[in-house]
Structure 1
């Protein structure tokens, strides 16, 4: 909106938009079409299940049985037998005592931090945490201490000096922008020694890392620990939509009573619950899929000239936003869709392409990726 009247209440929008455009931080929506020819290395469909006929049929069957919407909040009419079935199977798969499904991973993070912290608690947050965790910290009303990325000693120091009786330490298991793995064993040892709860966002871990894709907590031997709470999303490896909190039954019961993003939000649509449940069953029946993701990630990293990641996320740091944007555009022009991360998603000077591996990427597509990246990155580094 452009208003000639400087006194108009929205007159400030255009100068702010102009500043973002000048800084290379302007963003646009680019609607996809159903049958695009581009090789997709930007989405988070890690296991290639979003369009799998079995998962689509799970969504269709649920919609036909329960209708298009859940019709209300989870505490009114928005909990179906399907939601309960999904929660039970998700908890069993991840080794947790209980699970509680939210409408998104974002609302799960908001809910768990706001409900488990509070004005009399301390939250220790990794500096590289996702925006949903940062927003959850802000909503928690707790004192928040931000510590350097993956620094267990810094966490220990903050916890040792605290005056609050309760404390939470929150981190991503797999960093969403660089694909690195959090030192969960060390963080848990610190938390146990200092009497803190460890909260781990497994959004990029579920379906990709750990035994059978059960996540980094399972890989660290921490699945089901009584002083650990996990959050997951259903919209990445499981190809659907929604989120969940996993942990002790006492935690999920507390969230049902107190988590505002659960109590006052419409329940997850049945189609999404049905699709997620179908995908979870495919993952359980086909445990080789996570390994396929990591093999593709290693091939993408080799094509980009960066080290192979321990996850599905391959980061190619290019520096300034305009360089990353131009590289992403050139990739698209050559038939390759890649992610482009700029501030505030990443620190200043570290704008990057983010390539996300998918288990179903073919050898022919990898050949195309190698050719495109060789040209595009040479131009970006020139």
Structure 2
């Protein structure tokens, strides 16, 4: 089946004033030092970020961190106080001009899907094609529905569809005009976990096959790692770290970033003789921390290895809980007020009261300087 109806529109097609076609190497969407405050509170502060053509970027962070506000600025729903927004190198919001949402060449998928209850599924999808001849718009809408495997629902209404099906209709409606950038605000949060994984994978497949440039807002780090080529981690209106999923997970910018991606076991550490010494063991000093007075040593539960007594740091199993694919084992070791949490695939190998050896690979340890005492 042809994907012409869902492919990026020809440069110059669409609303007058749309962004110009991208030059080679030009970001598809760029924020340049964008800031916006509400009632004196900085919702977005000095954010610069470039999204490349065909890239799926995730804005990740807790509620209230500014990620949805940044998306709304890109869409033209909010207007920034300072900075510029560019699409294909052309300013769409800034000192020179501010284009309305319909002239920016962006598609929107909202958290609640925003389908029209009084329109059929086919009419919902072709709603954004009002400027095209009726026959062409209907054909394009049907093709979009076929692509998301909902053509058999064309004559139905939104209330006849499940939450996952409604999400796919919203995706088809957003893609059918051929937007330069697709903006998605928590698009999977209203679905239960099992359905969410399925719909998310299907959505990702559609975006990849169409070469779509997309910015997806989410508060779920696992979701961001599953779908994003790059992740922009935000906190209190600022960008904390930008990179591919493995970089953010393996090399978090600070301990708050590490905590955001998973649970951590944390221990106080001191630097002596070129080593970091802690209850978890001794490790090389990371570059740049040689002069740090106090450090925090952190390790994720699944990065800790348990073995027979005498191998590694001595510990005693405090509890064991079967979780299906792994056992959750709590291990008490000297020098730690709280037991270590360990996730191990060695199901049933460790029992409460058992003495064990705890090994933490140096490559899996995260070490951060502690703030100086006031």
TM-score (norm 1): 0.28
Higher CA-based Rg: 2
Which structure has the higher relative contact order (CA within 8 Å, separation 6+)? Answer: 1
**Greater fraction of residues in strand:** 2
